Structure 1
């Protein structure tokens, strides 16, 4: 009797397995597969955290120039302000504002994502739901603050 119920159970499992749609299995994602691959919000935050860190590192000479020019003297501060209006050399002022906006986003995203990682490490919050919700908060907060500061940078208020 036991073998009959065991075989019936195995048949039920096989019948359920036959009705399930096979899921694609990604082991090594190729560049051509990226369009069909859905990255979770935590994955986007992780990738953008790395991109924002690289952006800030690569633009470090520009950041140092901005700081040095803004605090050296009143005359250099005026040339700093003028760079955002008239530009620097062949680069127009709007381009300087756009690069600065990229730096603003890079800093804000990197900071918020870093705080998210520290908070998750300190509280041992590693559930899938918590990771998704904190990633969405990071993306939304970083975007909203960037838009707010970008509006100020471009003189909308």
Structure 2
């Protein structure tokens, strides 16, 4: 009976359905979801590279000769890009982790606050990475 009487001024309800793999290109994720995915990626990057970083640290503090050797390796542009990726991974993971800790206290869970905090995480991590890049490539 209720289907027979429809209000013409009422907007139709939005349909939520599962996304097919072919529709992923048209799906627009919210910024907070992108920051959350990048948080997972940066965490994985840090986890995978941690043994390598610790090995390089161990070898660089072994002697003055090994330190000079690694200093020469660090001057290569590809190595600088790898260092820059690790700096971005650390900064993004750190900032997004603080965001998640604050959200665990039930602060900033609404849509606008989540969008604002995700923008802040992206800006802070990218600005710090840019500053490190400028220092790393000798601009200042």
Q: Please give the TM-score of this superposition, normalised by the length of structure 1.
A: 0.77
Q: How large is the RMSD of aligned CA atoms in angstroms? A: 2.1
Separation in 2, partners of 1:24, 1:97 = 48
Matched, 1:58 2:41: no
Report which of the two has the higher share of helix.
1
Deviation at 1:122, TM superposition (A): 2.7
SS of residue matched to 1:39: coil
Q: Does 1:125 align with 2:108?
A: yes
1:25 equivalenced with 2:16 (yes/no):
yes
When the two structures are aligned, how many residues end up with a matched partner? Answer: 137
Match of 1:15 among 8, 19, 25: 8
1:57-80 per-residue CA deviation (whole Å, 9 max, x = no partner) reads 122232112321332222221111
Q: Which residue of 2 aligns with 1:82?
A: 72
Matched, 1:97 2:80: yes
Per-residue Cα deviation, 1:34-87 (whole angstroms, up to 9, x for no partner): 2211111110110000000111112223211232133222222111111122xx
SS in 1 for 2:8: helix
**Change in CA separation of 1:31 and 1:63 when aligned onto 2, cut-off 3 Å:** farther
- Where structure 1 has 5 or more consecutive residues not aligned to the other structure, the ranges are 1-9, 86-92
Gaps of 5+ in 2: none
Alignment TM-score, normalising by the size of structure 2 = 0.85
CA distance in 2 between partners of 1:141 and 1:131 (Å): 15
Instruction: Report which of the two structures shows the higher radius of gyration computed on alpha carbons.
Output: 1
